[in-house]
Chains A and B, each alone.
Chain A
Amino acid sequence: MQPTHRSSRILQPAKNWFVFLSLFVALGLAYIPTGRLPGVPDWVPLVLAFWCIREPLRVGMGTAFVFGVLVDIGQGAAMGQHALAYVVLAYLATSVARRVLWFPPLQQALHILPLFFLTQLIMVLVRLVAGAEFPGWGYFLSSFTSAALWIPLHFLLLLPQYRPVDRDDNRPI
């Protein structure tokens, strides 16, 4: 697979352990107690959407459900609130995967932004129906910061796959 479909560079296949390690690191970042700071990126949906687009056969709705429940428990939110939003996100991300991969990372981020926004919208609707307070428009800032992080993340998470198959002294990287 290439970095994007227009690129002519062939990548190594993604390692299973790296995919799930990155998901658990994102979960750890989501557990950092940042209080009511607005605009903290949602790490788990970010990494989840990335792997749903790159590796739709490995990471999908089932993984999204499991990590959603783990986020629910860690944040003390209603059980199923994040799980529901992440499952919908995973479905939409896998269904746009074929198209998104033709674009460079900046335009990929623009494709993903509405998905992140929808994820947050689902969570707000679920809690408002359950009778919670509206958290204010600053809450939706997170999806914009998450989308902005797509570009560095695109480089970072593909880094292990940029390695050449055989190393020799005449070929740098």
Chain B
Amino acid sequence: MSLAGHQSPPVFKQGPTPLVRLLVLVSVCLAMLVADLRFRYLEVVRQGLSVATWPLQMAAAAPVDFVRNAAVYFATLVEVQQDNAELRRSQLDAAQRLLRFEQLERDNAQLRELLQMAPAPGVRSVAAEVLYDAPDPFSRKVILDRGSQHGVEAGMAVVNAQGMIGQVTRVYPVQAEVTLLTDKDQAVPVQVARNGLRGVLFGAGQGRMELRFTLSGVDVRAGDRLETSGLDGLFLAGLPVAEVVSVDRESQTFAVVLCDPVAAVERTTQVLVLGRAEAPPPRPQPQPHSPPLRRTERKG
């Protein structure tokens, strides 16, 4: 073996030179990056190796857990009393809503049966706690303390008391990684609660979100509430997501619709992971022999 930048005489040469080794390893790394970021091929490898690094990660997280628990331990009595009063108030409020909700749910089931519609999808929920921000500084992700052993699956929605905060994107045995709504790569299919207009909401940085691909002529106003449409087959319909802050119709085709999340997306600790109780029906397969749809030809 020879050192980088120092040529050894040919007699002692063993193996490839440092520059060759560098190029080989760099190309391996680039291939891994493309396979992971573009095609998601390496999830199996990641899951497998994460089992090996698990003890070290647990040991590293221990001091952070200790500091967090110590902070809880030294909370003052006044704070606990205030919290308690607040919780009692909100529980009373929730109780009377719940009474009405149960009655409405019965009514809804009966009406659906009368109209011979499919029953509304059941809900599966897992209560979880946010452990910490994911260390990767390039994305907005948090780690939950519940994983595949507790029934968390990739794709489930994560909500807090106010509304949706993100989506489970990667599941480990006892932890799960949640991509927050404000992440640049996170998309949520939504509809405007006022008129049912559908769109896709993307993270826009600085804690904001953007309703993209909205034609500038459509009816969206500042103050509109956006909720999940459930058309993706993953999320439940009707979870509150965001509120429209500003609509800019300056450009020709698309309006720039900026929104603020309803929930405190980046400052939440107690969350609920929601998913559908049964898998959505499979998508219809395209007919292999059907003639292709004819497009209207443009003139000019």
Contact = CB atoms under 8 A, between A and B. Distances in A.
Interface string B247-275: 00000000000000000000000000000
Interface in B31-80: 31-33, 35-37, 42, 45-46, 49-50, 53, 56-57, 59-61, 63-64
A98 B6 contact: yes
A92 B4 CA distance: 8
A78 interface: yes
A36 B1 CA distance: 41
A94 B25 CA distance: 15
Interface residues of B, number: 50
Contacts of B120: none
A107 B74 CA distance: 45
Nearest to B62: A32
A35 B132 contact: yes
Interface stretch (A6-14, A129-137, A144-152, A158-166): A129-137
B133 interface: yes
Residue from A24, A29, A32 with most neighbouring chain B CB atoms (10 Å): A32
Contact of A32 (B29, B45, B50, B64): B64
Contacts, number: 141
Contact of B56 (A31, A56, A79, A139): A31
B13 interface: no
A33 B143 CA distance: 10
A132 B139 contact: yes
A33 B37 contact: no
A76 B57 contact: no
Interface string A51-80: 000001100111001001110011111111
B154 interface: no
Contacts of A127: 138
**Most A C-beta atoms less than 10 A away, residue of B1, B29, B32, B134:** B29
A30 B138 CA distance: 16
Given A31-B57, A31-B61, A70-B53, A79 B32 contact: yes
Question: A-B pairs with the 9 shortest C-beta distances?
Answer: A80-B32, A95-B4, A31-B60, A84-B29, A95-B5, A132-B138, A79-B36, A33-B132, A35-B133
Interface of A: 24, 27-36, 56-57, 60-62, 65, 68-70, 73-81, 83-84, 87-88, 91-92, 94-98, 124, 126-127, 130-133, 135, 139
Interface of B: 1, 3-6, 18, 21-22, 25-26, 28-33, 35-37, 42, 45-46, 49-50, 53, 56-57, 59-61, 63-64, 131-141, 143, 170, 177, 183-185, 205
15 contacts: A28-B56, A33-B143, A56-B4, A60-B18, A61-B21, A73-B50, A77-B136, A77-B138, A78-B36, A79-B36, A83-B25, A84-B26, A88-B22, A94-B4, A95-B5
